[in-house]
Structure 1
């Protein structure tokens, strides 16, 4: 998420077809597309609603992508087979920055400067839980761990943990965890923490620190909050936004550079090697990434233009490394 977030105006996005109907339509469309030649013919660019102001993206175990709105917090679902979609979760007047979907189909939503963490069901459009996080400033991004959902705060050196009980049960607000970051973590005077992922072995977290050493990736122990800089040689990540892990490859979206830097990590996430940089003329400040098959999908946030209700937005797909 961009450091200019706080000065951007709020917009509204209209509600659309119910989530259950859309997801059923997605399955039908995807099957039809496969019969006509498979995912290779699916669009590599599709439009999002004008004025939507996308930032986060999540893709689960079916071929549709969820996008969060910085304008009003709504969530839009797009069929990857056709590019068409609808709003499936109506916002609560705040924002949705990062988001992830779990194996139960629930969406975990980072609420930005609303200081909220929300959990929603895209099939019904209902919010299952809304947490007002004590002390939060800007809840930015989220990653799911078997025992908790972890969220970054871009203006505080902490992570917020939402512990998950048996069968994924959601906690009371009093059970939310605040994990202070220490060790090598460097907190700037302004915007600092951004994207978050898990290490390849799943034992630790990876958090983008846009201030430390000109922009670094930190390995964070979720038990203690101790952060250690991941050794990636001379690579720096001053505009690191969303992080996406596929196997041992970490895709780092460097939004204002209109690029994705790809790093190969060891299993523990303590060391890495820069592999390649992906650029594309269709990039217009992409912020986050999610994968389906051999494609990486990214929303173009267009932070270089002043948002209006008529501003055009889109998502693009590039080939994975």
Structure 2
């Protein structure tokens, strides 16, 4: 198993409160060697010239946008081994979308991103997702010399702190072994889909429904993946989980009653369903009787309606539908 690459991270952000939040979270990760902070573009240039940085978190909206953009693209051109993560407020960017993604900044749509508005209970999961992306990127992006520099830094830290219980010594030998492999890598690995895996989208108040459904699927040889316990936020980490699953099963239960006596379902379920459709996942919708707003774009054969008394019967129908996707009628 490959060890992760040690990270020297530069945070570039004029908003000191969010800087502290991010810095504290980064320092919890064992792969992070050093974390530096710059509150100006001028200072960031100095840090990049004097430190061996391999990851930059930057909020371009906290500075003059044109100045920040010029800095980002210049660094990407002269130091292509550095991985950039845009750490910014998605809502503010959306308000300035015509400017934020104009011209060369249209490339920002392809950058790794971390939303400053991420709820605190979801932040760690988002960080795990970002670190996975960073490590994957670095394994093919970084040059031999960068790896050698990190090895030397790790050895220097060990020499300064010989009694430390750091994980750093464990990665040194693996880093050296990886040099030849890194030279041959030209593209990052694509995300793989886990066979017989099912993402269950559900309202987190419906724990019993979800448990019964998950148990039934697991008993029949499937692995079950869910989102985080947040009723109002669909994160990049959840999107990644949906994409990595082979199937998508949405449990659409009653949320708010409408004037005509029917019900809506929760909006984030519709968002997750939209991600699944956009990712060409095979869908099954379990819809509680009375729910009428469950969106379009899916065929009748994908919808299974149920009442509270008939839930397990519906769960069995859902399993049968999933097996039919695999040709296991």
TM normalised by structure 2 equals 0.24
Q: Which protein is richer in helix relative to its size?
A: 2
Structure with the greater relative contact order (CA < 8 A, sep ≥ 6): 1 or 2?
Answer: 1
| Bigger Rg, which one | 2
TM normalised by structure 1 equals 0.25
Q: Which protein is richer in strand relative to its size?
A: 1
